[in-house]
Amino acid sequence: MPSAVVPEAVRSLSVAMREDSRSEHDAAEHSSFMSELLNGRVNEQGYVDYLLRLRAVYRTLEDTVRARRHDPVVAAFYDPALERSATIAADLDHWAPGSAREVDSPAARAYCTRIADADWGGALVAHHYTRYLGDLSGGQAIGRILDRAFALGGAGLSFYEFPMRAKPYKDGYRARLDALDLDLDDAARVVDEVKVAFALNQALFDELTANLPAYRR
């Protein structure tokens, strides 16, 4: 018997998205900025700089998805209950009250441009998946770790709080991905865009990693 090469047709889209972005995911998870942040070695300014980049990205993602919510592919995922812009604003009020909200970040600009220029609903779904399923997965643990590292008593962590239960929501989300019934080429385009989304997140982390000396706690 030839060794098993699993034909693409037997993998669902949700599995392909997860499996084919695994190495990118692991790289993001182990970026120096993230590791230092979760080990309690990044100061408030570092976390604020992270939030400011997320603010730009989520504003663009949420504006773009809302504007395109009647596209049938986007419609299957559009859900205002996921939106993070208001939670980021609330967290910034906690972490940096009264300070400027704009950030000069080439990585955030590149990320925003990529989302805003997406000319196909499937590409937007790839960006939607990469952020929100991440927030509903590892994001939940990150919130708890930050709570301990900064002794926050739960304050300033709205970004990690969702109104829905994560597990059933993620299961439903993956079922909707698999019900999209895309042909193989389009499914491959979605997976490719997930990898692009991870690379854009990595670039955000790289920018923050370069600033680590200024964030020492």
Query: Which H helix or E strand runs over 194?
Result: helix 184-210
Select the residue interacting with ligand HEM from 40, 134, 143, 209 (CB under 6 A).
134
How many positions of this chain bind ligand HEM (CB under 6 A)?
A: 19
* Residue 105 contacts residue 53 (beta carbons within 8 Å): yes
Q: How far apart are CA 88 and CA 50, in angstroms?
A: 10
Using CB under 6 A as the binding rule, whether residue 25 contacts ligand HEM is answered as yes
Indicate whether 127 belongs to the interface with ligand HEM (CB under 6 A).
no
Q: Which stretch binds ligand HEM (CB under 6 A): 46-54, 136-144, 151-159, 184-192?
A: 136-144
110 contacts ligand HEM (rule: CB under 6 A): no
The answer to whether the beta carbons of residues 131 and 140 sit under 8 Å apart is no
Shortest reach from residue 1's CB to ligand HEM, in Å: 31
* Contact residue for ligand HEM among 13, 127, 201, 215 (CB under 6 A): 201
CB 205, CB 34: distance < 8 Å: yes
Contact between 126 and ligand HEM by CB under 6 A: the answer reads no
Amino acid code (one letter) for 192: D
Query: Does 17 participate in binding ligand HEM (rule CB under 6 A)?
Result: yes
Per CB under 6 A, the list member of 67, 86, 110, 141 interacting with ligand HEM is 141
- Tokens in use for 32? 């120096």
Q: Around Cβ 209, how many Cβ atoms within 10 Å?
A: 16
Torsion angle of C-alpha atoms 78, 20, 209, 131, degrees rounded to 10 = 10
Near ligand HEM by CB under 6 A, which window of 25-33, 48-56, 74-82, 148-156? 25-33
29 lines the binding site for ligand HEM (CB under 6 A): yes
Q: Please name the residue that has the structure tokens 């704009």.
A: 102
The answer to whether 55 contacts ligand HEM (rule: CB under 6 A) is no
CB of 14 to ligand HEM, least distance (A): 6
CA dist list (Å): 52 to 37, 70, 88, 108, 181: 15, 29, 8, 9, 36
Question: Interface with ligand HEM by CB under 6 A: which residues?
Answer: 17-18, 25, 28-29, 34, 38, 129-131, 133-134, 137-138, 141-142, 170, 198, 201
